[in-house]
Amino acid sequence: MLRKMALAAGALMIVGFTSAPARADLKLCNKTESRVGVALGYKDKEGWATEGWWTVEPQKCLPLLKGDLIARYYYIFAVDYDKGGSWGGKSIMCTRDKVFTIRGIEDCEGRGYTKTGFFEVDTGEAADWTVSLSGEKTTQGQ
């Protein structure tokens, strides 16, 4: 009897350690029929940064940042890998073709990067936010 109680207590402890508290994230949901490449821009305590590329499969969601959001505004640039075209905006930041983390948004071309227009996402200072990508692209595919 004592052994069964010890086993049950051990099983409860394992369950307690494996269940993690809910975490907030910045997620992107690809509501298109194409694979999409995503770059992200944001400002943190060290200044401006851009990161890329995440590949988000059609009709799937993917966290771009894990944990509570630290900024109100985030910036997204996305490329349709299958049909061409992209989603962007007026906020200029730096990107490159390969996987990257770039600090600073000034003089992109002078530093060997591509100057790219991102669209702004206002999270309203929420701790958790999901961006859905669909609809018209800002540039059309070839």
Q: How confident is the model at residue 13 (pLDDT cuts 50, 70, 90)?
A: very low
* Per-residue confidence (pLDDT) for residue 125, from 0 to 100: 81
* Pairwise CA distance, residues 64 & 25, whole Å: 7
Q: Any idea of the CA torsion for 50, 54, 57, 59, to the nearest 10 degrees?
A: -40
**Is there a cis peptide before residue 129, judged by omega within 30 degrees of 0?**
no
Sort strands 91-95 and 85-87 into parallel, antiparallel or unpaired. unpaired
Q: How confident is the model at residue 139 (pLDDT cuts 50, 70, 90)?
A: confident
Percent of the chain with pLDDT over 70: 82
* Per-residue confidence (pLDDT) for residue 141, from 0 to 100: 56
Q: How confident is the model at residue 24 (pLDDT cuts 50, 70, 90)?
A: confident
* Pairwise CA distance, residues 57 & 90, whole Å: 26
Give mean pLDDT, residues 10-39.
Answer: 69
More confident residue, 111 or 72: 111
- In angstroms, the first-to-last Cα distance of the chain is 72
Q: Distances from the Cα of 36 to the Cαs of 15, 59, 92, in angstroms?
A: 37, 10, 20
* Per-residue confidence (pLDDT) for residue 40, from 0 to 100: 96
